């Protein structure tokens, strides 16, 4: 077998590049993914990943529901479904959002997608013309940049602080753009326990953002995978809660509250937007996995979701605490980090002059990995930051990982002087 393959590869009579589309020629593998592949094969403590801990998956509940669904609903659960998604699930999610977030919601405002990553691609497809202005947070979710990038927007990156996006700076930018006769299409925000920073946009800023959207006539894409993972502080309503016009396109996901392997998310938005995204999805994959949808329906409808969330929180809270404590204990003065009330990530800022991407090799040599912050910025113009994950690795390893990391950083800082 191997020989056949080797022969085939060695022959290479085809000019592969000549077949690719221009956009495909520009596509590059995510450096981070490539980096992480290396880390996975060694015994490095990786704080780089973004995976939920498998211990939080409600395996027994899923097993029980799967049996029930395959016994009583196999016809539906194994057949093609509608593009919009399994209606009882859409209804259950509408009710759940209404109850949980106080957002009046009907099933015609809900579409099921194959993970919220698919929603990001659909949003690009449905809203972005080449050159359209899309506002993102600086830093923002890396895979959103990748998904939107295909559609060739012009990004504007708005700085963040401990209360989320600097909406005051956004306002300044909007005034400036208006003078130039330019309009923005939408603002993309991970509003709560942001990836990568872990910070949450304050209520005042949420309200202000809605006001600005009305004034300057743009949409808001609110990506909310983490808000249920709250370990301290008081819940903040989603931006969608303050939306009375249908300007907010809300993205939810089962990846952190059920299981990422299900590849199930949902879009909650005005039916006009849902309808267009539905048509776009038809030619992309017809529909999301129906078995997963029927299981997710039972999971929400029978109250398992609400019962299970506290268990996830109980599992993650000590990990967050361990990381915050270790950072406090080990990090040299001059290093700063966020103190998230929830989610999966902490954001670390080193003194200017340290390039975390260049530092990575030394860290891996010391037995610890992180994600260099650069790739989370639309223009990759900030080099001294990194993202740490606290959900996947147990407390003792988190402590040891942070200790090793602090050593590497201290060494780098010495060189600065």
Q: Which stretch binds a second copy (CB under 8 A): 18-26, 164-172, 307-315, 405-413?
A: 18-26
Q: What is the dihedral of CA 96, 202, 340, 238, to 10 degrees?
A: 10
Considering only residues 279-308, where is the footprint of a second copy by CB under 8 A? 279-280, 282-292
Site string for a second copy, 397-416 (x = CB under 8 A): --------------------
HSE (side-chain half, CA atoms, 13 Å) at 2: 0
Interface with a second copy, residue 377, by CB under 8 A? no
Considering only residues 132-191, where is the footprint of a second copy by CB under 8 A? 132, 143, 146-147, 149-151, 185-186
Minimum CB separation of residue 391 from a second copy in Å reads 12
Binder of a second copy out of 112, 121, 174, 338 (CB under 8 A): 121
Minimum CB separation of residue 379 from a second copy in Å reads 18
**Number of Cβ atoms within 10 Å of the Cβ of 173:** 18
Binder of a second copy out of 47, 90, 115, 338 (CB under 8 A): 115
Considering only residues 223-282, where is the footprint of a second copy by CB under 8 A? 244-247, 255, 259-263, 270-273, 276, 279-280, 282
Interface with a second copy, residue 99, by CB under 8 A? no
Q: Which stretch binds a second copy (CB under 8 A): 102-110, 200-208, 313-321, 363-371?
A: 102-110
Minimum CB separation of residue 250 from a second copy in Å reads 14
Considering only residues 305-364, where is the footprint of a second copy by CB under 8 A? none
CB within 8 Å of 340: residues ≥ 6 apart:
193, 197, 198, 199, 200, 320, 346
**Number of Cβ atoms within 10 Å of the Cβ of 382:** 17
- 6 vs 139: CA distance, rounded Å: 43
Enter the tokens of residue 128: 């972005």
Cα distances (Å, whole numbers) of residue 108 to 125, 316, 361, 396, 404: 21, 34, 50, 47, 51
**CB contact at 8 A, 216 and 183:** yes
């Amino acid at each position: 077998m191997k020989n056949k393959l080797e022969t085939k590869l060695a022959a290479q009579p085809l000019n592969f590049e000549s077949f690719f589309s221009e956009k495909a020629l520009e596509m590059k593998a995510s450096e981070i993914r490539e980096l992480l592949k290396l880390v996975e094969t060694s015994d490095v403590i990786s704080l780089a990943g973004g995976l939920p801990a498998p211990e939080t998956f409600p395996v027994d509940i899923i097993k029980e529901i799967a049996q029930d669904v395959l016994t009583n609903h196999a016809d539906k659960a194994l057949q093609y479904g509608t593009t919009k998604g399994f209606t009882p699930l859409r209804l259950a999610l509408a009710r759940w959002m209404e109850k949980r977030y106080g957002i009046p919601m009907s099933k015609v405002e809900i579409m099921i997608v194959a993970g919220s990553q698919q929603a990001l691609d659909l949003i690009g497809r449905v809203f972005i013309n080449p050159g359209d202005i899309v506002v993102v947070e600086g830093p923002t979710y890396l895979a959103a940049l990748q998904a939107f990038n295909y559609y060739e927007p012009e990004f504007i990156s708005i700085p963040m602080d401990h209360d989320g996006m600097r909406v005051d700076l956004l306002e300044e930018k909007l005034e400036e753009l208006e003078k130039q006769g330019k309009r923005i299409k939408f603002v993309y925000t991970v509003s709560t326990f942001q990836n990568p920073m872990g910070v949450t946009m304050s209520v005042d800023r949420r309200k202000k953002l809605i006001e600005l959207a009305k004034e300057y006539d743009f949409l808001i894409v609110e990506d909310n995978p983490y808000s249920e993972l709250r370990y301290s502080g008081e819940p903040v309503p989603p931006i969608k809660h303050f939306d009375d016009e249908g300007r907010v396109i809300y993205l939810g996901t089962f990846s952190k509250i059920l299981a990422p392997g299900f590849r199930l998310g949902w879009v909650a938005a005005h039916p006009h937007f849902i309808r267009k995204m539905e048509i776009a999805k038809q030619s992309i994959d017809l529909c999301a996995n129906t078995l997963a949808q029927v299981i997710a329906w039972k999971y929400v409808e029978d109250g398992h979701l609400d019962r299970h969330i506290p268990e996830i929180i109980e599992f993650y809270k000590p990990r967050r605490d361990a990381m915050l404590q270790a950072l406090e204990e080990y990090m040299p003065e001059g290093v700063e980090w966020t103190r998230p009330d929830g989610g999966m990530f902490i954001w670390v800022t080193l003194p200017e002059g340290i390039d975390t991407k260049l530092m990575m090799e030394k860290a891996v040599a010391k037995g610890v990995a992180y994600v260099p912050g650069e790739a989370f910025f639309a223009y990759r113009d900030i080099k001294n930051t990194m993202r740490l994950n606290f959900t996947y690795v147990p407390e003792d390893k988190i402590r040891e990982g942070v200790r090793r990391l602090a050593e590497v950083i201290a060494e780098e800082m010495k060189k600065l002087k």
